[in-house]
Amino acid sequence: MTLLEILLLLARNLALIVVVMLALWLLALKLKDVSFIDGVWGLGMVLLAGATFLQTDGDPLRKGLLTGLCAVWGIRLGVHLLKRWRAHGPDRRYQALLKSRANKGQGFAPASLMFVFLPQAVLLWLTCLPVQLGQVAAAPAVGWIGWIGAALALFGIVFETVADAQLSAFKRDPDSKGKVLDTGLWRYTRHPNYFGDACVWWGLWLVAAETVPGLFAILGPIFLTFTLTKWSGAPTTEGGMHKSRPGYADYVARTSGFFPLPPKKTAG
């Protein structure tokens, strides 16, 4: 594909996800809740991967790896987060955001559109660049870097799935109320689900990066890693945990924030 054709592909994909987000915004207006957007995040990337697959003539194996791995990751995560939303109701983060906009005189409809759905469309599209640009080129064939990337992505899917299952089981246990999950994968990192997420998208980028267009998709995993570690991931989660879990400060002192590491020994 020429540079113009690639830009047109990206533009069509962006338009597609914006249209989807507008439709979901209309749904949110009826529900008076935007919290389901987290579940849409992974499913939206599956949609972009599939749309790109149909529009490109790149290496079939690379296209299959990128689309297949993205689909396994996105469908699993999307279903998990949508089930969580149905079980627990509105997310306090989004409630706080929309309340702050309401205090400034902005109603639910414009605030949810401008601060939730439209930004999510652009950020989703940006994060998903590896599975878009990685499907463009017909050569070279998938090499050892691509297979390492596929293995890393698969590892990330398993790691994140196990972490989510451990957290769900912990929350279902009545004896866990007010306590901190510090067993299983959560013993080695405070955010194993986020670490798994990052592994998936760095792995997908490695699959894509054997091609010139895919190499430029590095903005996707960089942005995702920043989001998980510095913006709306770990910082938001930990802010609430410090308030609701008395033992969380001790857990932070001994447990790695992102990369899995053996727990530190603490005094006493």
Range of the domain at 248: 3-254
Q: What is the pTM of this model?
A: 0.93
How many angstroms separate the Cα of 214 from the Cα of each of 56, 217, 219?
13, 5, 10
Task: Please report whether residue 265 resides in a domain.
Answer: no
pLDDT above 90 for 152: yes
pLDDT average, residue stretch 58-83: 97
- Predicted confidence at residue 249, as pLDDT, reads 84
DSSP 8-state assignment for residue 114: I
Distance CA 189, CA 256 (A): 5
| SS3 state at 164 | helix
Digit-coded pLDDT (tens) for 177-197: 878 898 999 999 999 999 999
Which pLDDT belongs to residue 242?
62
* pLDDT tens figures, 124-147: 999 999 999 999 999 999 999 999
What confidence score (pLDDT) does residue 53 get? Answer: 98
Which pairs from 16-23 meet CB under 8 Å and 24+ separation?
16/47, 16/48, 16/51, 17/44, 17/47, 17/48, 17/121, 17/124, 17/125, 18/118, 18/121, 20/44, 20/47, 20/121, 21/117, 21/118, 21/120, 21/121, 22/117
Q: Identify whether 262 is part of a domain.
A: no
Among all chains, which residue has been given the structure tokens 């530190």?
264
How many independent structural domains does the chain possess? Answer: 1
With cut-offs at 50, 70 and 90, classify the pLDDT of residue 167.
very high
Q: Which helix (H) or strand (E) holds 132?
A: helix 129-133
* In a domain? residue 260: no
**Which residue in the block uniquely carries the two structure tokens 């986020």?**
194
- 261, part of any domain: no
**Tell me: the pLDDT tens digits for 225-265?**
999 998 777 777 776 676 667 778 888 889 998 999 999 88
| C-alpha distances in Å from residue 113, one per residue of 33, 62, 73 | 12, 35, 27
Classify residue 108: in a domain, yes or no: yes
SS3 content of the chain, % helix, strand, coil (to 5): 75, 0, 25
Q: If you average pLDDT over every residue of the chain, what do you get?
A: 92
Mean pLDDT of 5-10: 97
Per-residue pLDDT at 77: 96
Which of these, 199, 125, 212, lies nearest to 161 by C-alpha position?
A: 199
* pLDDT score of 267 more than 70: no
Q: Residue 46 region, left (φ>0) first, then alpha (ψ -120 to 50), else beta? A: alpha
Task: Please give the pLDDT value at position 244.
Answer: 65
Task: Give the pLDDT confidence score for residue 96 in this predicted structure.
Answer: 87
Residue 160 pLDDT > 60: yes
For residue range 8-55, what is the model confidence (pLDDT) as tens digits?
999 999 999 999 999 999 999 999 999 999 999 999 999 999 999 999
State residue 216's pLDDT score: 96
* Residue 268 maps to a domain: no
In a domain, 264, yes or no: no
